[in-house]
Chain A
Amino acid sequence: MSRKRITVAAAVLVLATGCGAADMTKQASPFANAQGAKTVTLSVQSWVGAQANVAVAQYLLEHELGYRVDTVQVDEVPAWDALSQGRVDAILEDWGHPEQEQRYVQDKKTIAAGGDLGVTGHIGWFVPTYFAKKHPDVTNWKNLNKYADLLRTAESGGKGQLLDGSPSYVTNDKALVKNLDLDYQVVFAGSEAAQITQMQQFAKEKKPFLSYWYTPQWLMEKVPMTEVKLPPYEEGCDADPAKVDCAYPVTPLQKYLNADFAKDGGKAAEFLRKFKWTTEDQNQVSLMIAEQKMRPEEAAKKWVDSHESVWKAWLS
């Protein structure tokens, strides 16, 4: 290729693209606003509670406010990033990410807080209730080592198995096992779907298991579980990830909106800010989706039809 042609090609390239700066943090999804519809993009996290929030919000946005709603499944931390870039407009359920909050809400101001979701989240270690009934003292961490033998699996080798879920979840379990001197091996299921499937299989056979789990979660209704007491949570006891030796805190779940969307999002932004419901409400929808295998929009419709007084307040 001659030098002249390279120059021409370069010039064309510059002309075609270089008309100015292109800030990709301000680019929306190509699937948004198709055919002139107003679109809201919601981030769905991988757990069903989050799907329930999104399903109901989506149903109301579409049927009451006339929006078109796109949903994208993103893990928690990348979702913050996507939110800050405007790739999604809102996260409806966040379990507390102080580092990201500092970076995007305080420093860069690209994300705005959206208020409480109304649901309180709690992470802990759980055993199935049928197992706890048979061995009541398993519910205190001090006695866990006694049961390590019972909880052994092929994966955990010679130790008891502590089943952990998705890598995206907040967990201190490895440090906890070490610092509390427990004879357990943390086995990562790698995704919540895999973890739930495994727990259901165990429950079907009434086998004992010990798992990292959280509330609110629809599986609790299907497989009743009892929490294992860990040393109580105190402010700051989980400051150093390697030295954690206490239980997980109780987290009021939060909503976050993209800053621009919060400003210019009109009715949709207003609605999402007011969106607030209870743990029972969320669980009802989650159960319909995950256990009765209803489609999210059907589940949302069923809930919306019977809880008018709740959601009317969000629209006012």
Chain B
Amino acid sequence: MATITAPTSQKAAPPGILTHPATRKLLALAALAAVLVPLAVTQWGGATWPSALTVDVSEPLGKASDWIIDNRDSHPLFLYFFGHVSNVVVIAVRAVYLALLAVGWAGVSAIGALVAWRVAGVRLALGTAAAFLACGLLGMWVPTMQTLALMVVAVLASVVVGALLGLAAGLSDRMDRVLRPVLDTMQVLPAFAYLLPVVLVFGIGVPAAVLATVVYAAPPMARLTSLGLRGADKEVLEAVESLGTTARQRLLTARIPLARKELLLGVNQTIMMALSMAVIASVIGAGGLGDRVYQALASVDVGAALAAGIPIVLLAVVLDRVTGAAGERLGESGRSPVTWLYALVVAAAVALAGRLAGFLDWPDGWEVDIAEPVNRAVDWMTAHLYSGVPVVGGTADWAGHFTSWVLNPLRDGLQWLPWWSVLLIVAALAWLIGTWRTALTAVLAMAAIGVLGVWDPSLDTLSQVLAAVAVTLVVGFATGIAAARSDRFERLLRPVLDVFQTMPQFVYLIPVVALFGVGRAPAVAAAVVYALPAVVRITAQGLRQVDPAALESARSLGATSGQQLRQVQLPLARPALLLAVNQGVVLVLAVVIIGGLVGGGALGYQVVFGLAQGDLATGLVAGAAIVCLGLMLDRVTQPTERRAKKGA
């Protein structure tokens, strides 16, 4: 196949070229293209992917789907394997849920606060209690407990699975080589792409939701476990080894304790990923808070969606801070088991008192209705901003212009480009910024999209991603620079970023439609809102970490503050900026896909369609294309340094 020959012959290039500057890489690629492109063109001309090179997978997929539905209640594979998996999940979630209900709202809040107090201090304890009470005040106590039960099971399972995989990768080089690309890839996949296969096997419901969450949340745990084990201090290990310990003793007494920080960071990451999945999984019947958000959106009720979204944000912020603080406090002394005992006794007492006083279900009278004022505010906003605003024009006009002047030309341009030239561009970009390996992966991923027969919709999605990334980077870099230069601005910004990072994307889909209409523009807008916090954060952090000595010397040379920024800070923060680009691209892709729900069309719509109609052929092919697109975008934007640092 012409598509893969290009990169394979790059493999044959002498290693010396790799050490030479970018021009050499481009020259090599150009030489290669000069040979292969004419071949490809004479064989398969035209702009879109040649139909001779596609594989139609819809029939086998349709058959597979029928087979699963017909055999789900009789085939041994389902009865003796999947059935038990599903059963265990249901029993576990139910057990946690019943326990939470039995402890009651007073008990759960008290236990949460006391645990937070012991691991993270008084301030976070108060915050935790306030967060739980806020969930109750919003009238969301039972859904919050449902989500919490699901999260507890999913996070535990993710941590166990992730830790085991990480252990394997940390101890065996061969496992590491096998697992790393898989984990790398899973990290960049949009959550939406996971749903359909899981639903097909397990059906709509909690087991499917938990398993999709585990698949999504386990990879960071595995990566960080392996990283922690591999990063352990060599000298300490040698010292332990010289004591004549066995391999297992070394692992248990030295390597794992030394990796504590990474392990806790892994748990933290896993929790965040699992929570972000909580809402998306409601599409496949997870219930709980996510389902409330989803149902509220059906009646275009932003206020009610927000009432269910806020508890998710609160849970996420609290869990993030508490596990983060636990990681920082590691190694500090003074954590005596006695205070833990006190905490336990107090918690039990509160729970018991709550039980005796009948404080199990959240009292109805204590609920605050925020839906109405929020809806009024949203209505006012959309009524006054939608169109006819003097001078600048309304948001609908912007959306229209953005669609006709940016999105349409970009999409048409990409689709007009001959397919081989798209591959060439991908190869060139990925090779320039990375190695021939990343270039090869990127080109193969792009070619796979063509083979699956979704070339045109994928380029449509790609055009939305590119437009959104451009906007995100301009706004994000500007805000990040401002935040790096002013402490007060950064302090103001931090809670806003926290909220937007954890707010379920579904919540702002409707306001976005109200402002920008239906189409690709709102999808892009939602993606920008979602990706912006990460970009701002990484940019600000990168700029702040620039060596103060370098800045000082620039200042003493009389550089103005603009010159300092341009000539010292930005160049020195280049790795961080590249990372920001990479993260921005991955996050934008995730939301552009969800944009299928607001008229984004293309791959996102196909996944939604597949889920909604139970149409495996459409949904799975689009899901696979998203995976490939994500892989390609990640490789094209992945700086070499990151890869080198991760290398063992």
Q: Does A75 have its Cβ within 8 Å of any Cβ on chain B?
A: yes
Measured between alpha carbons, how far is A142 from B441 in the docked complex, in Å?
Answer: 52
Chain B residues in 8 Å Cβ range of A215: none
From known contacts A25-B72, A187-B599, A201-B396, infer whether A194 and B509 are also in contact, taking CB-CB under 8 Å: yes
CB distance A190 to B597 under 8 Å? Answer: yes
Q: Does B628 have its Cβ within 8 Å of any Cβ on chain A?
A: no
CB distance B514 to A17 under 8 Å? Answer: no
From known contacts A167-B612, A190-B604, A194-B518, infer whether A22 and B79 are also in contact, taking CB-CB under 8 Å: yes
* Minimum Cβ distance to chain B for residue A233 (Å): 22
* Minimum Cβ distance to chain B for residue A283 (Å): 14
* Minimum Cβ distance to chain A for residue B68 (Å): 10
CB distance B299 to A77 under 8 Å? Answer: no
CB distance A197 to B510 under 8 Å? Answer: yes
Q: Does B449 have its Cβ within 8 Å of any Cβ on chain A?
A: no
From known contacts A78-B199, A87-B204, A196-B300, infer whether A155 and B518 are also in contact, taking CB-CB under 8 Å: yes
Q: Does A102 have its Cβ within 8 Å of any Cβ on chain B?
A: no
From known contacts A27-B86, A77-B612, A154-B399, infer whether A47 and B518 are also in contact, taking CB-CB under 8 Å: no
* Minimum Cβ distance to chain A for residue B170 (Å): 15
**Contact pattern, A 18-41, Cβ under 8 Å of B = 1, otherwise 0:** 100111111111110011000000
CB distance B518 to A31 under 8 Å? Answer: no
Measured between alpha carbons, how far is A81 from B69 in the docked complex, in Å?
Answer: 8
Q: Does B297 have its Cβ within 8 Å of any Cβ on chain A?
A: yes
* Minimum Cβ distance to chain A for residue B325 (Å): 31
CB distance B517 to A25 under 8 Å? Answer: no
Q: Which of chain A's residues has its CB closest to B92's CB?
A: A30
Q: Does A135 have its Cβ within 8 Å of any Cβ on chain B?
A: no
Among A46, A70, A78, A154, the residue within 8 A (CB) of B204 is A78
CB distance B298 to A47 under 8 Å? Answer: yes
Interface segment, B125-133, B155-163, B400-408?
A: B400-408
CB distance A289 to B299 under 8 Å? Answer: yes
Q: Which of chain B's residues has its CB closest to A87's CB?
A: B205
CB distance A82 to B513 under 8 Å? Answer: no
- Tell me the chain B residues, 70-128 only, with Cβ under 8 Å from chain A: 72-73, 76, 78-80, 82-84, 86-91, 93-94, 97-98, 101
Task: Count how many chain B residues have C-beta atoms less than 8 Å from C-beta atoms of the other chain.
Answer: 83
Measured between alpha carbons, how far is A81 from B295 in the docked complex, in Å?
Answer: 20
Measured between alpha carbons, how far is A295 from B299 in the docked complex, in Å?
Answer: 11
CB distance B285 to A51 under 8 Å? Answer: no
* Minimum Cβ distance to chain B for residue A61 (Å): 17
Q: Does B386 have its Cβ within 8 Å of any Cβ on chain A?
A: yes
Chain B residues in 8 Å Cβ range of A44: 295
- Tell me the chain A residues, 194-232 only, with Cβ under 8 Å from chain B: 194-198, 200-201, 204-205
Q: Does B469 have its Cβ within 8 Å of any Cβ on chain A?
A: no
* Minimum Cβ distance to chain A for residue B95 (Å): 8
CB distance A22 to B203 under 8 Å? Answer: no
Q: Does A242 have its Cβ within 8 Å of any Cβ on chain B?
A: no
CB distance B513 to A31 under 8 Å? Answer: no
CB distance A293 to B301 under 8 Å? Answer: yes
* Minimum Cβ distance to chain A for residue B91 (Å): 8
* Minimum Cβ distance to chain B for residue A14 (Å): 9
CB distance B285 to A74 under 8 Å? Answer: yes
From known contacts A78-B612, A103-B69, infer whether A31 and B146 are also in contact, taking CB-CB under 8 Å: yes
**Contact pattern, B 280-301, Cβ under 8 Å of A = 1, otherwise 0:** 0010110100010011011111
Q: Does A193 have its Cβ within 8 Å of any Cβ on chain B?
A: yes
CB distance A31 to B73 under 8 Å? Answer: no
Chain B residues in 8 Å Cβ range of A163: 518
CB distance A73 to B206 under 8 Å? Answer: no
Chain B residues in 8 Å Cβ range of A22: 79-80, 83-84, 86-87
Q: Does B136 have its Cβ within 8 Å of any Cβ on chain A?
A: no
Pick the most buried of B69, B83, B101, B304: most chain A CB atoms within 10 A of its CB: B83
Chain B residues in 8 Å Cβ range of A189: 518, 598-599
Q: Which of chain A's residues has its CB closest to B205's CB?
A: A87
CB distance A73 to B282 under 8 Å? Answer: yes
* Minimum Cβ distance to chain A for residue B511 (Å): 9
**Contact pattern, B 582-608, Cβ under 8 Å of A = 1, otherwise 0:** 000000000000011111110011001
Chain A residues in 8 Å Cβ range of B614: 77-78, 81
Among B83, B284, B294, B372, the residue within 8 A (CB) of A24 is B83
**Contact pattern, A 49-79, Cβ under 8 Å of B = 1, otherwise 0:** 0010000000000000000001111111111
CB distance A75 to B519 under 8 Å? Answer: no
Chain B residues in 8 Å Cβ range of A194: 509-510, 513, 518, 522, 597-599
Measured between alpha carbons, how far is A289 from B605 in the docked complex, in Å?
Answer: 28
CB distance B597 to A70 under 8 Å? Answer: no
Among A24, A35, A168, the residue within 8 A (CB) of B78 is A24
Q: Does A236 have its Cβ within 8 Å of any Cβ on chain B?
A: no
Q: Does B422 have its Cβ within 8 Å of any Cβ on chain A?
A: no
CB distance B519 to A21 under 8 Å? Answer: no
Measured between alpha carbons, how far is A254 from B80 in the docked complex, in Å?
Answer: 36
Tell me the total A-B contact number using a CB cutoff of 8 A: 218
Q: Does A85 have its Cβ within 8 Å of any Cβ on chain B?
A: yes
Q: Does A98 have its Cβ within 8 Å of any Cβ on chain B?
A: no
Pick the most buried of B202, B382, B612: most chain A CB atoms within 10 A of its CB: B612
Chain A residues in 8 Å Cβ range of B600: 190
Chain B residues in 8 Å Cβ range of A293: 299, 301, 303-304, 371-372, 375
CB distance B608 to A157 under 8 Å? Answer: no
- Tell me the chain A residues, 151-210 only, with Cβ under 8 Å from chain B: 153-155, 157, 163, 166-168, 187-198, 200-201, 204-205
Q: Which of chain B's residues has its CB closest to A54's CB?
A: B295
Q: Which of chain B's residues has its CB closest to A190's CB?
A: B597
Q: Does A144 have its Cβ within 8 Å of any Cβ on chain B?
A: no
CB distance A187 to B519 under 8 Å? Answer: yes
CB distance B597 to A191 under 8 Å? Answer: yes
Measured between alpha carbons, how far is A99 from B78 in the docked complex, in Å?
Answer: 24
CB distance B206 to A201 under 8 Å? Answer: no
* Minimum Cβ distance to chain A for residue B514 (Å): 5
CB distance B203 to A81 under 8 Å? Answer: yes
From known contacts A166-B612, A293-B371, infer whether A48 and B299 are also in contact, taking CB-CB under 8 Å: yes
CB distance B203 to A82 under 8 Å? Answer: yes
Measured between alpha carbons, how far is A285 from B343 in the docked complex, in Å?
Answer: 49
CB distance B88 to A17 under 8 Å? Answer: yes
Chain A residues in 8 Å Cβ range of B400: 153-154
Q: Does B556 have its Cβ within 8 Å of any Cβ on chain A?
A: no
Q: Does A113 have its Cβ within 8 Å of any Cβ on chain B?
A: no
Chain A residues in 8 Å Cβ range of B301: 290, 293
CB distance A30 to B97 under 8 Å? Answer: yes
Among B79, B295, B303, B597, the residue within 8 A (CB) of A21 is B79
Q: Does B520 have its Cβ within 8 Å of any Cβ on chain A?
A: yes
* Minimum Cβ distance to chain B for residue A277 (Å): 19
Among A27, A29, A187, the residue within 8 A (CB) of B287 is A29
Among B101, B401, B519, B608, the residue within 8 A (CB) of A35 is B101
Measured between alpha carbons, how far is A82 from B7 in the docked complex, in Å?
Answer: 46
From known contacts A24-B83, A27-B86, A75-B611, infer whether A190 and B596 are also in contact, taking CB-CB under 8 Å: yes
Chain B residues in 8 Å Cβ range of A193: 297-300, 509-510, 513
Q: Which of chain A's residues has its CB closest to B91's CB?
A: A30
For the complex with contacts A29-B205, A31-B93, A190-B600, 16 further pairs of A-B residues with Cβ separation under 8 Å are: A24-B83, A35-B101, A51-B298, A72-B204, A73-B291, A85-B72, A85-B205, A154-B408, A155-B519, A163-B518, A190-B596, A190-B599, A191-B298, A194-B510, A194-B597, A197-B513
Interface residues of chain B, those whose CB is within 8 Å of chain A, are 69, 72-73, 76, 78-80, 82-84, 86-91, 93-94, 97-98, 101, 146, 149, 199, 202-207, 282, 284-285, 287, 291, 294-295, 297-301, 303-304, 371-372, 375, 382-383, 386-387, 396, 399-401, 403-404, 408, 509-510, 513-514, 517-522, 595-601, 604-605, 608-609, 611-614
Provide a sorted-by-A list of 6 A–B residue pairs whose CB atoms are within 8 angstroms.
Answer: A27-B90, A30-B89, A35-B101, A73-B294, A167-B605, A193-B513
Q: Which 7 A-B pairs have the closest CB atoms?
A: A22-B83, A168-B612, A30-B94, A154-B403, A167-B609, A21-B79, A155-B519
Interface residues of chain A, those whose CB is within 8 Å of chain B, are 17-18, 21-31, 34-35, 44, 46-48, 51, 70-79, 81-82, 85, 87, 103, 153-155, 157, 163, 166-168, 187-198, 200-201, 204-205, 289-290, 293, 295
